[in-house]
Homo-oligomer: A and B are copies of this chain.
Amino acid sequence: MSDKYTNMEDIGEFEFIRSIQEGCLFSRERLIRGIGDDCAVIGPYDGKALLVTTDLLAEDIHFIMKNIDPEHLGQKAVAVNLSDIAAMGGEALHLFLSLAIPGTLQVETLHSFYRGVKAMCGRYRVNILGGDTSSSLDRFIINVVVIGHVPESEVLYRSGAAADDYIYVTGTLGDSAAGLKLIKENLSVSESCASSLKMAHNLPQPHLDAGRRIASSRMATAMIDISDGLISDLRHVCDASKVGAIIYQEEIPISKELRALGDTGKLDVLSLALSGGEDYRLLVTVPDEKAVLFEKMFENGEPCQIYRVGQITRAGGIRIVSPDGSERQAEIEGYEHFSQSRL
């Protein structure tokens, strides 16, 4: 290795992405918003904004075959993309699946994977319209693209949050990260509790219905899905909206399963809820004067519970308020490829 060259692992994903973002736009035709949100937004066509999202999952980076039922893997590969459509307020329509398949992979495993893909697509009436099937020398690679649409006036971006907006999340946090810990380590906790947390990791549910309801109400100012962790994704909203936030620690929704696992003293529940990734809940900001009406939309717990966890601030940075009223700056947390493994 000559000193002249830099490896990807030396600079990391975020610096690399910054380095290639210049010079990507060549035309304004049918373009509403490019790089920088959960989906690209193209159109408008017929008053609709088209949403496009894509995610690549690589074996031994994002998943380990022996740790996940292939059917769950199929469902999850779809769900994480549907969650991006949900985060923009959209309806998911069509899916494209590219696979690089090792010749030694069993056909039965692949059929099980496809059963999962089709089950998740069927649940949300998303068509599988093709993709590309290729061989791979050794590892299984999955690329999913989902296209959705949303009335142009209802698209929710990360960039709309304003000072004093309340911050809501559409479900409990930290379950997926705890499930991942349980998949990797044996912690003494009840079977049903372990199973529920592992399922939160292996079978996340996209909040499409909640996303549509929020967008069509036109009450929210910004939305994102929580894939990297509460603090990390809230930071994306704050950066895009040029604001800060406070989070009330005691308001963070923790499932009873995660609480039970925390009671074993083997892990830090708060840290998982703040920084654990892959919960795929939505984070929404809503002006304080609309909060009552907004909360009313979810009062019967349908399609999900919502929780008010904090408030947007004019001053930058994210502060966490402890139950005793003391405040601290949230650390810079969040997942980065090339510097740690997501496994």
Binding site for B on A (CB under 8 A): 5-11, 13, 16-17, 19-20, 23-27, 29-31, 34-36, 40, 42-43, 45-46, 48, 50, 52, 54-62, 93-94, 96, 98-108, 110-111, 114, 118, 121-122, 125-139, 141, 143, 145, 147, 149, 337-338
The contact sample of 17 A-B pairs, CB cut-off 8 A, is: A6-B108, A7-B103, A7-B105, A8-B101, A8-B104, A23-B122, A27-B126, A31-B129, A42-B129, A43-B45, A45-B48, A55-B98, A58-B134, A58-B141, A61-B134, A136-B141, A141-B141
Q: Which residue on B lies nearest to A33, using beta carbons?
A: B129
A62 to B136, CA, bound (A): 9
List the B side residues contacting A5 at CB < 8 Å. 106-108
Q: Which of B31, B96, B105 contacts A127 (CB 8 A)?
A: B31
A135 adjacent to B30 (CB under 8 Å): no
Contact: A11 with B107, CB < 8 Å?
Answer: yes
Q: Is the CB of B133 within 8 A of A35?
A: no
Report which residue of A8, A16, A98, A103 has the largest number of chain B beta carbons within 10 angstroms of its beta carbon. A8
Q: How far is the CA of A160 from the CA of B126 in the complex (A)?
A: 28
CA distance A130 to B145 in the complex (A): 12
Chain B residues lying within 8 Å of A110, measured Cβ to Cβ, are 8, 16, 20
Given contacts A7-B107, A24-B128, A30-B149, 10 further A-B contacts (CB under 8 A): A5-B106, A7-B104, A8-B101, A8-B105, A10-B107, A20-B114, A34-B129, A56-B143, A135-B338, A145-B145
How far, in Å, is A290 (CB) from chain B's closest CB?
30
The CA-CA distance from A189 to B184 in the complex, in Å, is 58
A143 in contact with B23 given A7-B104, A52-B129, A133-B13 (CB within 8 Å): no
In the assembled complex, which residues on chain B have CB atoms less than 8 Å from the CB atom of A135?
8-9, 13, 58, 61, 337-338
Chain B residues with CB under 8 A of A48: 45
Q: Is A20 a contact partner of B111 (Cβ separation < 8 A)?
A: yes
Q: Which residues of B contact A107 (CB under 8 A)?
A: 5-8, 10-11, 16, 19
Contacts known (A6-B106, A110-B16); A45 close to B42, Cβ less than 8 A:
no
CA distance A64 to B316 in the complex (A): 47
**A10 nearest CB across to chain B (Å):** 8
Contact across chains for B114 and A145 when beta carbons are under 8 A apart: no
CB of A165 to closest CB in B, whole Å? 26
A100 to chain B, nearest CB (A): 5
Identify the interface centre among A11, A17, A145: most chain B CB within 10 Å of its CB.
A145
State in angstroms the CA–CA spacing of A135 and B26 once bound together.
28
Q: Nearest-CB distance from A71 to chain B (Å)?
A: 13
